[in-house]
Amino acid sequence: MKAELRAGLIALVILSQAVAAIPNPPELKDSALKDPSAQAELDAWVDNFAAFGIEKSREEVHALGKWWTARLRGTREALVWPFKPIFQFTGTGQGWGLFAFPDMQPHRFEIAVYEDGAFRDVYVDLDPDADFMAPVFAARRVRAVYNPGNKPPPAFDPFTDWLADQVFEAHPDAEKVRIGFRRSLRLKSGEPHPGYSKRVHFTRVFDREAP
Amino acid sequence: MIRRWVAFWNTEESATTLAAVRVLMPLVLLSDLLHVWFLGLHDVMWSPEELGGWSVTAIGAEQPLFGQIFGGTTETSVGLFWLVAWLCVMVSTGTFTRTSALMLALCYAQLEDFLPVADRAIDRLYRNLFLVLAFSGAGKTLSVDAWLRTRAFRDDAVRIGGWARRLFILQVVWMYFDAGLEKGASTWSVMGRYDALHYILQDPIMSRADFTNPGALFHWITRLGTAGTIWWELAAPLMLVALFATGTGRLGRMGRWLRKVRFREVYLAIGMLFHIILWATLELGMFPPAMLVLYPCFFLIGEERSRD
């Protein structure tokens, strides 16, 4: 009886985990049509369809992808629902999308201080001449707190509040601290790195005198 | 069918393999937590935003259970951090293993609730496995529990249910296979010229070194690496076939072939190489060692036998 009970419980666990393992693709938004990385992805699928003699435009592929991802997400949500409280309480589940969609326009994290009338970089990713607190930003848990996709993660504001205090403390002459990202211009296969945007994205500027 | 299912999970084997994994897994997690402490972040990372920390959930509607019980304060989150670290020591040393492993999984989940964004795939995988460990009997050897029972830390004679190690194998195989399935970007396939690693290594937030403009040879190496990664991941289910064939001597020509080419050893050797290259090129924290310490699960010390 004990063996049957154990086998039954294992079956239940595997069933719940199999449901959790149903792929959960990110929601395909209309804004994807404007994103260069997403455009490149859609164009690749247009070519793929064409290889099988099916003519589809980028917009049609987007609509098709949107329909399928919505159905898949909806089905998964419905099946996972009975197990959700257990998954949430135990922090368990499946779904292992590791580097599933490489970013063709990755961000570079930067911190600059305003001294003597100009901003000076104190941290730039992978720059040995601007490596203030570099080990902290490389830590896996920390990176997740600031690494942006289309927008900074939820903890970005409290993280940067804390970070600004650290920068001011280490740089007594700094009047302001600027924290933000430069976005790579679109990477292309086999071509030299195209450089970074002049604009600093998701910028937060802190004033030492501010309350 | 049901009888075969029951029989499949009703085996027993030496506890040593799973006990070795039980010793190593919490040590990897502990080193990750001590790294946070070494960087001086343990008292801000999970602390409430209102008190200068980074957690936006430590206070308010989404407050974790641990915060509801002990209050949304810095002391609470720091206390939870050290509790998880202490439970790692307890599980690794095999001290009250069942309770410690269960508590570790649940407290680790609470830590996730304080800062969900800092919780990565490997953390979820470890919680899945700590829960299996809690019910497995993996604390019966190489443990304080064994010493309390027999006055010896090691007890090679003790046997436990084989189901737990089988679940470990299933989890690792599924993780690799699913990682392959979910790689939906065209750059992981021939239609995207297998350029995924070329792009990933040029992400300055992820990369350990500057891989911009490394030359044509490097580009070809990354393409080879991309193709190798995706096909290696998608081949993971063959490991189950190979293990079944090795264990039972069945499955016909395919099983014989997998055994002949030593598929298990070759697959895991490639996996080790894969994780070592990942560790050398990307900032992935505990992920590479955390996966490698699970590999002993694929090797059983001694014989497995049915309990029937």
Partners of B230 on chain A (C-beta within 8 Å) are none
pLDDT for res A30: 79
Q: Structural domain tally of chain B?
A: 2
Segment B126-169, tens digit of pLDDT: 999 999 999 999 999 999 999 999 999 998 889 999 999 999 99
Give chain B's mean pLDDT.
Answer: 93
Query: Smallest Cβ distance to B56: which of A44, A158, A189?
Result: A158
- Whether B240 is in a domain gets the answer yes
Q: Are residues B126 and B211 in the same domain?
A: no
Q: Are residues B124 and B239 in the same domain?
A: no
Q: Are residues B17 and B103 in the same domain?
A: yes
A100 touches chain B (CB under 8 A): yes
* pLDDT level of residue B302 (50, 70, 90 thresholds): low
Q: B-contacting residues of A 10-49, CB under 8 Å?
A: 10-11, 13-14, 17, 21, 23, 25, 41, 44-45, 47-48
Name the amino acid, one letter, at B44. V
Q: Are residues B231 and B127 in the same domain?
A: no
* pLDDT level of residue A1 (50, 70, 90 thresholds): low
A162 touches chain B (CB under 8 A): yes
Q: What does the pLDDT average to over B255-282? A: 93
Q: How far is A14 from chain B (nearest CA, A)?
A: 9
Q: Are residues B21 and B135 in the same domain?
A: yes
Q: How far is A75 from chain B (nearest CA, A)?
A: 17
Instruction: Name the residue in chain A with its Cα closest to that of B306.
Output: A3
- CA B264 to mean position of chain CA atoms: 18
- Whether B107 is in a domain gets the answer yes
A6·B45 Cβ contact <8 A = no
- Whether B82 is in a domain gets the answer yes
Partners of A103 on chain B (C-beta within 8 Å) are 199, 203
- Whether B44 is in a domain gets the answer yes
- Whether B199 is in a domain gets the answer yes
Q: Which DSSP string do the residues of A11-72 spell out, in sequence order?
A: HHHHHHHHHHTS--PPP--GGGGG-HHHHHHHHHHHHHHHHTT----HHHHHHHHHHHHHHH
Q: Are residues B225 and B90 in the same domain?
A: no
Query: Smallest Cβ distance to B131: which of A7, A90, A95?
Result: A90
Lowest mean pLDDT across A51-55, B276-280, B284-288: A51-55
Query: Smallest Cβ distance to A11: which of B5, B49, B53?
Result: B5
What CA–CA distance (Å, rounded) separates B290 from B128? 13
Residue entry with tokens 């957690």 = B55
pLDDT for res B215: 82
* pLDDT level of residue B260 (50, 70, 90 thresholds): confident
| Buried/exposed B116-154: b ≥16 CB within 10 Å, e otherwise | bbbbbbbbbbbbbbbbbbbbbbbbbbbbebbbeeeeeee
Partners of B43 on chain A (C-beta within 8 Å) are none
A89·B115 Cβ contact <8 A = no
Q: What does the pLDDT average to over B62-75? A: 93
pLDDT above 90: residue B259: no
Query: Best interface-test mutation with B: which of A96, A121, A131, A193 has the largest number of B CBs within 10 A?
Result: A96
Q: Are residues B148 and B189 in the same domain?
A: no
pLDDT above 80: residue B213: no
A41·B185 Cβ contact <8 A = yes
| Buried/exposed B60-88: b ≥16 CB within 10 Å, e otherwise | eeebbebbeeeebbbebbbebbebbbebb
Q: Are residues B21 and B142 in the same domain?
A: yes
* pLDDT level of residue A201 (50, 70, 90 thresholds): very high
Q: Helix, strand, coil: what percent of chain B each, to 5?
A: 65, 5, 30
Percent of chain B topping pLDDT 70:
98
Decide if the complex's ipTM is over 0.90: no
Q: Which DSSP string do the residues of B217-248 spell out, in sequence order?
A: HHHHHHHHHHHHHHHHHHTTHHHHHHHHHHHH
Give chain A's mean pLDDT.
Answer: 90
Segment A62-81, tens digit of pLDDT: 888 889 888 988 999 999 99
Q: Are residues B123 and B219 in the same domain?
A: no
What CA–CA distance (Å, rounded) separates A123 from A110? 5
pLDDT above 90: residue A58: no
pLDDT for res A101: 87
Query: Best interface-test mutation with B: which of A42, A49, A103, A141 has the largest number of B CBs within 10 A?
Result: A141
Can you give the residue range of the structural domain that contains B20?
A: 11-154
Under 8 Å between Cβ of B258 and B238: yes
Burial class (CB in 10 A: 0-12, 13-18, 19+), B294: buried
Token duo for residue B194 = 């297998």
pLDDT above 80: residue A34: no
Q: Are residues B143 and B219 in the same domain?
A: no
pLDDT for res A29: 77
Q: Are residues B204 and B109 in the same domain?
A: no
Question: Of B107, B134, B154, which residue sits at a domain end?
Answer: B154
pLDDT for res B308: 65
B10·A97 Cβ contact <8 A = no
B178·A94 Cβ contact <8 A = yes
CB within 8 Å of A127: residues ≥ 6 apart? A121
Segment A79-138, tens digit of pLDDT: 999 999 999 999 999 988 888 889 889 999 999 999 999 999 999 999 999 999 999 999
Partners of A102 on chain B (C-beta within 8 Å) are 185, 187, 196-197, 199-200, 203
Q: What does the pLDDT average to over A25-34? A: 75
Token duo for residue B21 = 């994994």
pLDDT for res A21: 87
pLDDT for res A23: 80
pLDDT for res A211: 63
Instruction: Name the residue in chain B with its Cα closest to that of A186.
Output: B199
Partners of B200 on chain A (C-beta within 8 Å) are 99, 102
Query: Smallest Cβ distance to B205: which of A109, A159, A193?
Result: A109
Lowest mean pLDDT across B26-35, B54-63, B273-282: B54-63
B285·A94 Cβ contact <8 A = no
What CA–CA distance (Å, rounded) separates B289 from B244? 27
Segment B183-192, tens digit of pLDDT: 988 899 988 8
Q: How far is B123 from chain A (nearest CA, A)?
A: 9
Q: Are residues B146 and B208 in the same domain?
A: no
